[in-house]
Amino acid sequence: MFLYDFTELTSTIHAGLETTFGEGLLTTTIEFVIAGIVYLLFFAVFGLFAVYLERKVCAIIQNRVGPNRVGPYGLVQTIADFVKLLMKELIPINNSDRFLFNLAPFIVITATFLAIGAIPFAPGLQMLDFDIGILYVTAVSSLGVLGILLAGWSSNNKYSLIGAMRSGAQIVSYELSAGLSLMTIIVLAGTMQFSQVVAGQADLWFIFKGHIPAIIAFIIFMIAGTAETNRGPFDLAEAESELTAGFHTEYSGIKFALFYLSEYINMFIIAAIGTTVFLGGWQPFQIPGLETFNHIMWYCPPVLWFFLKAFALIIIMMWFKWTFPRLRIDQLLKLEWKYLLPINLINLILMATCVLLGWHF
Amino acid sequence: MNAIVEYIKDVFGGMKSLLTGMTVTVKYFFSPGEIVTQQYPENRDTLKMFDRFKGNVYMIHNDQNQHGCTACGICEMNCPNGSIEVIAKQVVVDEKKKKVLDKHIYRMGMCTFCGLCVKACPTKTLAFGQEYENSVYKRSNLTRILNKPNSTLAN
């Protein structure tokens, strides 16, 4: 069926383009453009919805109502906000490094683009399938900090600079934890290719397959992932109470919107990686042995399964943000270097032992 | 060895305290019954201000159109902004001259709702109302005369 396997759809488009434009550069370019537009549309729609979701979740947690004036249940609120941001003036800053200042938001958004390309949404719905997919995503998603550093540096503002430097310190340390927790699962999966990782979870998700070490790795990954997206309680880079708005203090209009959007897309990327690596990607929930149950689970199409799990993780990250107070910079680094990293290393050894001795399901 | 035990205790203690916090918020998430936000223009008919709300200053009158103001002027003296003006008049009652209240002028536009007049009133005849829709089209509309027409001093 259409929603179950996208391979047929993509190959039909490919064949159609080949017959019209012939094999070669032109077809490839058109395919690239189509994929780019699809991702761009997805970014826009997802960004608008995620901002709405965040505001609503935060409101409910704080016993408020949240956006409820524009459209039914305030659904159109974020679109109205976006239109407002589009029409706002782009304020040039005196003595700022104009080139880097304008470049920074695009680096941030490019990094998110590069990362999302490798994520499998459904069978056949994946742009790049490297055999080092996980390494590629972790490498590329940390490029975003370059944009944040540039934004802080070029703004000619002490708050921006401090925010950017904090963000740098944060990413450098938490990238380790995120990488090592993914490594734990790579040991179990035996591959770095996303499609293989998902295929390996057809009978049971890795978080259940790897039991204790996998669950520890998942918790560490969620903590490190939240830190990497610069979201609360790790939002030191934009600590409102200390640094006005951190690295994007001087940005306005659409450039600010790009930073804002990239925060939510990054959150989605972390949730998507978490889903793919720990929670079975687009694989439905399966329990070996229960044939009828497994069959019923397949009635929900894989795309929906993927987004269901991703949004569950996103809501967990929002739950973090609106529960915990912000960490101080020394607490942040202490948490990483004194707690997460040693636990992670021990966990990696534990997982290796489990795999070697066959102590997994 | 002791340090390691402390370390493990730290990890689990931290996890426990984080989970405690998360249960609190998740409770609120699934029981949004106690939403404190008032959706103002819709609930205009039912919205009731709480007792200690400092709305407009008004003068308490009883059902015989009598108030307790003796025109002593303490409220006027206490008002930091000079938003109160007490105008008294002399009337002859039983061949004795007596000072009674003519107009108690209250300029809401200058009032900061500090409550010093209400606190200082010796006869407890000034009070805060519950009115909250105080916007008017002209500034002169903010000047009010607090004693009702033809009201007299209560005995």
| Model ipTM value | 0.71
Cβ of A324 within 8 Å of Cβ of B29? The answer is: no
Beta partners for B58? B127
**Structural domain tally of chain A?**
1
Is B132 in the same domain as B64?
Answer: yes
Please tell me the distance in Å from B44's CA to the nearest CA on chain A: 16
Rounded Cα distance between A4 and B42, Å, is: 46
Helix (H, G, I), strand (E, B) or coil at B100: strand
- Token pair, residue A115, equals 């990362």
Q: What Rg, from alpha-carbon coordinates, does chain B have?
A: 27
Peptide bond into A233 cis (omega under 30): yes
Q: Is residue A50 part of a domain?
A: no
**Residue A247, number of CB atoms within 10 A of its CB:** 33
The CATH number of residue B102's host domain is: 3.30.70.3270
Q: Is residue A47 part of a domain?
A: no
Task: Decide: A205 and A197 in contact? Cβ < 8 Å.
Answer: no
Q: Is residue A32 part of a domain?
A: no
Task: Decide: A155 and A226 in contact? Cβ < 8 Å.
Answer: no
The 10s digit of each residue's pLDDT in A251-269 is 888 888 888 888 888 888 8
Q: Is residue B39 part of a domain?
A: no
Is B66 in the same domain as B29?
Answer: no
Q: B16 pLDDT band (50/70/90 cuts)?
A: very high
Is B18 in the same domain as B63?
Answer: no
- Tokens 């001093």 belong to B153
Please tell me the distance in Å from B138's CA to the nearest CA on chain A: 30
Rounded Cα distance between A18 and A338, Å, is: 56
Residues of A with CB under 8 A from a CB of B: 57, 60-65, 68, 319-320, 322-324, 339, 343
Rounded Cα distance between A246 and A163, Å, is: 5
Is B28 in the same domain as B61?
Answer: no
- Token pair, residue B103, equals 């107009």
Q: A2 pLDDT band (50/70/90 cuts)?
A: low
Q: Does pLDDT of A104 surpass 80?
A: yes
Q: Residue A62: its chain B contacts at CB < 8 A?
A: 28
- Tokens 């109205």 belong to A80
Rounded Cα distance between B89 and B69, Å, is: 13
- For chain B, the maximum distance between any two Cα atoms, rounded to a whole number of angstroms, is 100
Q: Residue B25: its chain A contacts at CB < 8 A?
A: 61, 319, 322-323
Q: Is residue B79 part of a domain?
A: yes
When CB atoms are compared, the residue of A64, A68, A324 closest to B21 is: A324
CA-nearest residue of chain A to B35?
A63
CA-nearest residue of chain B to A63?
B35
Domain with A272, as residue range(s), is 89-357
Res A320: pLDDT: 85
CB of B5 within 8 Å of a chain A CB? The answer is: no
Res A19: pLDDT: 82
Is B97 in the same domain as B137?
Answer: yes
Q: Is residue B124 part of a domain?
A: yes
Is B64 in the same domain as B138?
Answer: yes
Rounded Cα distance between A256 and A248, Å, is: 7
Rounded Cα distance between A305 and A284, Å, is: 6
Q: Is residue B131 part of a domain?
A: yes
When CB atoms are compared, the residue of A61, A320, A339 closest to B29 is: A61
Is B73 in the same domain as B127?
Answer: yes
Please tell me the distance in Å from A232's CA to the nearest CA on chain B: 14
Domain with B23, as residue range(s), is 2-34
- Token pair, residue A253, equals 């209009």
The pTM (predicted TM-score) of the whole model is 0.80
**Looking at this protein, which amino acid is placed at residue B142?**
L
Is B114 in the same domain as B66?
Answer: yes
Q: Which of A55, A57, A63 to mutate to test the interface with B (most CBs of B within 10 A)?
A: A63
Question: For chain B, what percentages of helix, strand and coil (3-state, to nearest 5) are there?
Answer: 30, 25, 45
Cα distances (angstroms) measured from residue A21 to each of A12, A24, A31: 14, 8, 11
Rounded Cα distance between B108 and A265, Å, is: 51
Is B81 in the same domain as B132?
Answer: yes
Q: How many CB pairs under 8 A join A and B?
A: 37
When CB atoms are compared, the residue of B10, B26, B37 closest to A64 is: B37
Q: B80 pLDDT band (50/70/90 cuts)?
A: very high
Is B28 in the same domain as B66?
Answer: no
Please tell me the distance in Å from A63's CA to the nearest CA on chain B: 5
The length of chain B, given as a count of residues: 155
Residue B65's region, left for phi above 0, alpha for psi from -120 to 50, else beta, is left
CB of B12 within 8 Å of a chain A CB? The answer is: no
Q: Is residue A204 part of a domain?
A: yes
- In order, the DSSP letters of A125-170 are B-S---TTHHHHHHHHHTTHHHHHHHHHHHTT-HHHHHHHHHHHHH
**Structural domain tally of chain B?**
2
Is B64 in the same domain as B134?
Answer: yes
Q: Is residue B47 part of a domain?
A: no
- Token pair, residue A280, equals 């079975």
Cβ of B28 within 8 Å of Cβ of A68? The answer is: no
Q: Does pLDDT of A139 surpass 60?
A: yes
Res B77: pLDDT: 92
Cβ of B24 within 8 Å of Cβ of A319? The answer is: no
- Token pair, residue A226, equals 């939240």
- Tokens 């426990």 belong to B16
CA-nearest residue of chain A to B17?
A324
Rounded Cα distance between B104 and B117, Å, is: 12
Is B24 in the same domain as B71?
Answer: no
Rounded Cα distance between B61 and B64, Å, is: 8
The 10s digit of each residue's pLDDT in B84-135 is 999 988 888 788 888 888 889 999 888 898 989 999 999 888 988 888 888 8
Q: Which of B6, B7, B24, B35 to mutate to test the interface with A (most CBs of A within 10 A)?
A: B35
Q: Residue A64: its chain B contacts at CB < 8 A?
A: 35-37
The 10s digit of each residue's pLDDT in A149-201 is 888 888 888 888 888 888 888 888 888 888 889 888 888 888 888 888 888 88
Res A1: pLDDT: 56
